[in-house]
Amino acid sequence: MPIPKPEKGERTDEFLPRCIKAISGEYPSEQAYAICQNQLSKEEMSKETEEVFVLTPKKAENRNSYIKRCSSHQKMKGQYPSMKTRLGECMHAYNSYYKYWSRLEEFGSEEHPDVKFEGCMSKYKASGKDYKEAYSMCMSELIVEPVAMEEMDTAIGDCIAKRMREDSSLTQEEARARCAASVVVQPSGGTNPAVVGAVTI
């Protein structure tokens, strides 16, 4: 029997049990799990190269209007045949643009560096990238020298990005040094690693 493939919009917790059940007659349970996990990994790798369509919400559009427009859009229907998945993706896209709109309202121009940066972040987050991936991609698009995000605290990363957007002549190390003096981070290992105090940047 051929090994099942994940269907469009099918979540991991839906695919794995379906796949394991389908091949359990041919393989022991541990091997069936490994085969299905491998199939899922192959599918995820091929999806990473696909372009994800995101219907951009309009600035003054309320959530219900956007969800209705997004869920009935032909490209969204083609990308997410399941209505439940499509509604989830539309809601995620709408929520991802909130910070962008507040920045646009605050600065009044799409050309302002903070607005450009939030617009870029919104675009990538709405298309399914996590914060670090979106941050890295936007830094490399909008700033010549991207900031490494591996072990970086979010507060310091945000500070470095802001400093480098405000002064394009700064190197990453100079921005990091300035931020280290202004952002105090609780040592890791505590129950709630967070910014304890920060000087206004």
pLDDT at 46: 53
Amino acid at residue number 78: G
pLDDT at 156: 67
Q: How far is CA 38 from the centre of its chain?
A: 23
pLDDT at 47: 52
**Could you tell me if residue 6 is left (phi over 0), alpha (psi between -120 and 50 degrees) or otherwise beta?**
beta
Residues of the chain with pLDDT under 50: 48-49, 144-152, 183-201
**Stated length of the chain:** 201
Separation of alpha carbons 49 and 2, rounded Å: 24
pLDDT at 179: 73
**pTM here?**
0.43
The residues pairing with 195 across neighbouring beta strands, listed in sequence order, are 185
Separation of alpha carbons 115 and 35, rounded Å: 45
pLDDT in tens, 157-171: 777 777 777 877 777
Separation of alpha carbons 101 and 111, rounded Å: 13
Domain boundaries of the chain, sorted by first residue:
12-48, 53-96, 110-182
pLDDT at 186: 40
pLDDT at 72: 92
Amino acid at residue number 162: K
E strands present in 46-126:
none
pLDDT at 49: 44
Nearest to 126 by CA among 69, 55, 59, 194: 55
Helices (runs of H) and strands (runs of E) counted in the chain = 10, 2
pLDDT at 192: 40
Instruction: Please state, as a whole number, how many other Cβ atoms lie within 10 Å of the Cβ of residue 66.
Output: 19
Task: Give me 9's structure tokens.
Answer: 């919009």
